[in-house]
Amino acid sequence: MFDVKAIRKDFPILNREVNGKPLIYFDNAATSQTPQQVIDVIVDYYSNYNANIHRGVHSLSQEATDAYEQARLKIQKHFNAKHPYEVILTSGTTHGINLVANGFSSLLEKGDEVIVSALEHHSNIVPWQMLCERTGAILKVIPMNENGELILSEFNSLLNENTKLVFVNHISNALGTINPIKDIIEKAHSVGAAVLVDGAQSCPHIKPDVQELDVDFYVCSAHKMCGPTGVGMLYGKEKWLKKLPPYQGGGEMIAEVTFEKTTYADLPHKFEAGTPNICGGIAFGAAIDYMNQIGFDSISQYEHGLLEYATEQLLQIEGLKIYGTSKNKTSVISFNVGNIHPYDIGTILDKMGIAVRTGHHCAQPIMDFYKIPGTIRASFMFYNTKEEIDTFIASLKKAVMMLS
């Protein structure tokens, strides 16, 4: 039995009020909330064994190193990576994408082609545009349809022997569409192209198996999955991580340094220059433990119920239009009501204690496709409830009345 009441007790922030009203937090796609179990791990780290890792012979440093490497093993197991050294700890999704895009500068030539999708977050567009500027590679785009789904037949016709890389998100942050990445990966591999999947929005809801997907790179951020900000993961197949040059130079990533020549450390340290977010990495491991303890099957099933319930209720509001109507979607609803500006609705909802996101959601090409400046986005996690959705709908109706 999925016991949401018990789960909510794990999240102290859900007890607070905002503007005199109980907080209803529906901005989970921007960042998720943190359970006490993860907060305790952070407090324990700074209270008991804060030290730099991989360096000291002293006990604190050993303890911190052990906990950090233990977290890497948890992440490896969770995503089913073949080796622990295929897990690079990053500062988040954006860092992981930039690391790979930068590395491909030395592997691409003028005239090579790379493919992005129309459904991407700016983080999975801009680093590749910068790569194309550096190398003379050509950026092509898989288009989307009115439902907010990728048009795969168009993808087929973009692929050819010049295609070197495809980068696509697993789930769209702006619309919630779940993309058919297994299919995309298979097709890209058939012409020898590598694939990077942006998992920022999938990891909070499903448990990806990188070996089963046969994906070349998979990236995510801990803060979207009950962990802290400033830490994330890049999974890369060993053969690719060996091929890519280091992203940043510094301590930890070297084997030997002289003024004549420096040799680099083995994986994963080659990509982990400088002191990392040690506490964040350890807490990321704890967040993965927490989510697995609830279970991803239960999480997806429960969240799907919230999605269906909220969609049904929202569609009863006159003039309300939902963007992203694929049957294959996660618990993210983007919408507008008539010509009311999303920002105005968001501001009134905040006065009522309800946190939603308004704007272009760092996905301007999607907004351009629909010819709108932005949307209101309500995104749910497993600790949200139908009762919260009821309050949200009633408050939204009030806001619409005030603004009409």
In terms of CB distance, is 120 or 388 closer to ligand PMP?
A: 120
- Name the minimum Å distance from CB 48 to ligand PMP: 28
Sheet-wide strand order for 217-221: 87-90, 232-236, 217-221, 194-198, 163-169, 113-117, 138-142
Per-residue contact string for residues 243-262; x = within reach of ligand PMP by CB under 6 A: --------------------
**C-alpha R_g of the chain:** 22
In terms of CB distance, is 92 or 103 closer to ligand PMP?
A: 92
In terms of CB distance, is 165 or 348 closer to ligand PMP?
A: 165
- Name the minimum Å distance from CB 121 to ligand PMP: 4
Stretch that binds ligand PMP, among 51-59, 91-99, 343-351, 376-384 (CB under 6 A): 91-99
Q: Is 202 in the site for ligand PMP (CB under 6 A)?
A: no
Known active-site residue 362: yes
Residues 68/79, Cβ–Cβ less than 8 Å: no
Distance, CA of 128 to CA of 117 (rounded, Å):
12
Per-residue contact string for residues 147-176; x = within reach of ligand PMP by CB under 6 A: ----------------------x---x---
**Which is it for strands 194-198 and 21-22: parallel, antiparallel or unpaired?**
unpaired
Stretch that binds ligand PMP, among 195-203, 208-216, 312-320, 327-335 (CB under 6 A): 195-203
Q: Is 10 in the site for ligand PMP (CB under 6 A)?
A: no
- Name the minimum Å distance from CB 218 to ligand PMP: 12
In degrees and rounded to multiples of 5, residue 197 shows phi and psi of -110, 125
Distance, CA of 333 to CA of 261 (rounded, Å):
53
Residue 149 makes CB contacts below 8 A (sequence gap 6+) with 177, 326, 328
Stretch that binds ligand PMP, among 140-148, 178-186, 198-206, 248-256 (CB under 6 A): 198-206
Which member of 33, 76, 124, 379 binds ligand PMP (CB under 6 A)? Answer: 124
- Which residue is listed with tokens 């696509």? 168
In terms of CB distance, is 27 or 112 closer to ligand PMP?
A: 27
293: its two tokens: 């303890």
**Catalytic residue (one of 203, 226, 279, 362):** 362
Residues 13/343, Cβ–Cβ less than 8 Å: no
Q: Is 357 in the site for ligand PMP (CB under 6 A)?
A: no
In terms of CB distance, is 64 or 279 closer to ligand PMP?
A: 279
Which member of 94, 98, 313, 379 binds ligand PMP (CB under 6 A)? Answer: 94
Q: How many residues bind ligand PMP (CB under 6 A)?
A: 13
Residues 333/358, Cβ–Cβ less than 8 Å: no
273: its two tokens: 């220059």
Would the CA dihedral through 299, 234, 188, 83 be positive or negative?
A: negative
Helix (H) or strand (E) holding 235: strand 232-236
Q: Is 93 in the site for ligand PMP (CB under 6 A)?
A: yes
In terms of CB distance, is 280 or 340 closer to ligand PMP?
A: 280
State how far the alpha carbon of 323 is from the alpha carbons of 55, 152, 177, 230, in Å. 51, 19, 10, 30
- Name the minimum Å distance from CB 95 to ligand PMP: 7
Cis previous bond, 268, omega within 30: yes
Distance, CA of 126 to CA of 107 (rounded, Å):
18
Stretch that binds ligand PMP, among 39-47, 119-127, 301-309, 310-318 (CB under 6 A): 119-127
Q: Is 198 in the site for ligand PMP (CB under 6 A)?
A: yes
- Name the minimum Å distance from CB 222 to ligand PMP: 8
Q: Nearest-CA neighbor of 252 among 56, 48, 46, 49?
A: 56
Distance, CA of 137 to CA of 156 (rounded, Å):
19
SS3 269: helix
Residue list 358-397, contact with ligand PMP (CB under 6 A): 362
Q: State the residues that interact with ligand PMP by CB under 6 A.
A: 92-94, 121, 123-124, 169, 173, 198, 200-201, 221, 362
Residues belonging to the active site: 362
